[in-house]
């Protein structure tokens, strides 16, 4: 597994099976990181979770097909459940109840106040004046749900219930998708064969004890700028450890890398300069051939083909004139730009 890592947001030092940071960056434990710090998530470990909370790494997963599909279908899935499970109660989307969510996920205001924990629920179900947490998920392989929601999802709901609704049960609504849905989410239509509602029981005393324990773990690790232990042999932990070790070199090692880069950069620039005129002529010939073939209505000539491609783009000016508020769909992406000047 190869990831595109985001650079650390703090200074750190490798200390055996742990990583010690300078403590300048900390995130709260969210619903999605609850399972990781507890060791029940298939996507994260206690080490990778605490490392992320300390700003040692991040990975932008917003463009992954599964994540994009889940986000696009959430409202549709909740609306289907609302119509087909009226006896359960009245269904509300998060935007109907909580603070407006704009920008990217990291900038959203938590739906509850706490020094250590934070979270954003998908919805609420209300019956007889009582509110229950509603979490919406999508899955391509529903087999993991045969005995109910997976553990890491269950603890996400338990966290929200503990701080918001404080009830003995909560709900999940699951939309089952396939690879076609990933490529075209609008093709997915909710029905009784791909949309399911789950009621889960919650032992509030047990959950409270777990949350207090996690709070203690956070205080003794993240609160002190320290990760939890790296588990030897764990693929996720070993991968992150290797990455952090590779970029934690000395000043001399950094200078050696810059010197090597300068040599490679100079060589490549010389080669590009040698072919500059040839490249310009290539582009000129390509444009001329294309113009002739289009004017002659030719789709092919020898080993050249002309294909017409149609592209759709969003007209922000027209949308603004029509009063469309597209600001809530915008997200901020932070990019580290590499600039090099020859000495």
Higher pLDDT, 7 or 2: 7
Assign 21 a pLDDT band (cuts: 50, 70, 90).
very high
What confidence tens digit (pLDDT) does each residue in 80-119 have? 999 999 999 999 998 888 876 665 556 678 999 999 999 9
What confidence tens digit (pLDDT) does each residue in 178-187 have? 988 888 888 8
Which tokens in the block code for residue 53?
């909370």
Instruction: Give the helix/strand (H/E) hosting 67.
Output: helix 65-84
What confidence tens digit (pLDDT) does each residue in 186-199 have? 889 999 999 999 99
Q: What is the pLDDT of residue 340?
A: 84
DSSP 341: -
Q: What is the pLDDT of residue 1?
A: 46
Q: Which residues pair with 173 in a beta bridge?
A: 136, 197
Q: What is the pLDDT of residue 62?
A: 65
From 7-16, 37-46, 104-113, the region with the lowest mean pLDDT: 104-113
Q: What is the percent of the chain where pLDDT is above 90?
A: 71
Q: Which of 27, 37, 25 is CA-nearest to residue 156?
A: 37
Q: What is the pLDDT of residue 105?
A: 58
CA 82 to each of CA 91, 142, 154, 229: distance values in angstroms, whole numbers, following the listed order: 5, 21, 21, 44
Q: What is the percent of the chain where pLDDT is above 70?
A: 93
**Mean per-residue pLDDT for 220-237?**
96
pTM confidence score: 0.78
Distance separating alpha carbons of residues 73 and 185, to the nearest angstrom: 7
Q: Which residues pair with 130 in a beta bridge?
A: 127
pLDDT at position 291 over 60: yes
Tokens 């390509």 correspond to what residue? 286
pLDDT at position 205 over 70: yes
Q: What is the pLDDT of residue 195?
A: 95
DSSP readout, 127-147?
A: ETTEEEEEEEEEES-GGGGTT
Distance separating alpha carbons of residues 80 and 74, to the nearest angstrom: 10
Q: Are the C-beta atoms of residues 133 and 164 closer than 8 Å to each other?
A: yes
**Mean per-residue pLDDT for 268-289?**
94
Q: Which residues pair with 117 in a beta bridge?
A: 29
Which tokens in the block code for residue 19?
């990583």
Q: What is the pLDDT of residue 343?
A: 77
φ, ψ dihedrals at 279, nearest 5°? -65, -40
Higher pLDDT, 61 or 29: 29
Average pLDDT, the chain: 91
Assign 338 a pLDDT band (cuts: 50, 70, 90).
confident
DSSP 153: H
**Domains in the chain and their CATH numbers?**
65-205 (3.90.320.10), 249-305 (no CATH)
DSSP readout, 199-254?
A: EEE--HHHHHHHHHHHHHHHHHTGGGTBPPPP-TT-HHHHHHHHHHHHT---HHHH
Q: Which of 120, 4, 103 is CA-nearest to residue 58?
A: 4
């Amino acid at each position: 597994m190869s990831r595109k890592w985001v650079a650390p947001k703090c200074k750190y030092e490798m200390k055996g099976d742990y990583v010690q940071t300078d403590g300048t960056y900390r995130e709260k434990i969210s619903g999605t990181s609850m399972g990781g710090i507890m060791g029940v998530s298939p996507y994260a470990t206690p080490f990778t979770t605490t490392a992320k909370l300390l700003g040692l790494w991040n990975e932008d997963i917003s463009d992954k097909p599964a994540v994009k599909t889940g986000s696009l279908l959430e409202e549709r899935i909740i609306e289907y459940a609302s119509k087909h499970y009226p006896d359960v109660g009245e269904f509300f989307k998060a935007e109907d109840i909580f603070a407006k969510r704009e920008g990217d996920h990291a900038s959203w205001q938590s739906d509850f106040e706490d020094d250590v924990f934070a979270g954003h629920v998908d919805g609420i179900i209300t019956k007889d004046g009582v509110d229950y947490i509603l979490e919406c998920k999508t899955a391509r392989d529903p087999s993991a749900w045969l005995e109910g929601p997976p553990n890491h999802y269950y603890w996400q709901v338990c966290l929200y219930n503990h701080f918001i609704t404080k009830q003995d049960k909560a709900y999940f609504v699951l939309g089952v998708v396939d690879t076609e849905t990933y490529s075209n989410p609008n093709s997915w239509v909710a029905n009784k064969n791909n949309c399911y509602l789950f009621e889960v029981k919650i032992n509030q005393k047990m959950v409270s004890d777990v949350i207090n324990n996690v709070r203690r773990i956070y205080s003794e690790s993240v609160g002190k700028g320290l990760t939890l232990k790296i588990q030897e042999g764990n693929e996720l932990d070993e991968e992150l450890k290797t990455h952090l070790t590779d970029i934690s070199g000395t000043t001399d090692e950094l200078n050696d890398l810059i010197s090597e880069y300068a040599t490679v950069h100079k060589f490549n620039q010389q080669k590009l300069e040698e072919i500059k005129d040839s490249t310009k002529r290539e582009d000129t010939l390509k444009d001329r051939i294309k113009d002739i073939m289009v004017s002659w209505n030719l789709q092919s000539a020898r080993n050249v083909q002309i294909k017409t491609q149609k592209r759709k783009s969003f007209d922000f000016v027209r949308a603004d004139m029509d009063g469309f508020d597209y600001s809530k769909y915008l997200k901020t992406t932070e990019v580290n730009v590499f600039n090099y000047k020859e000495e």
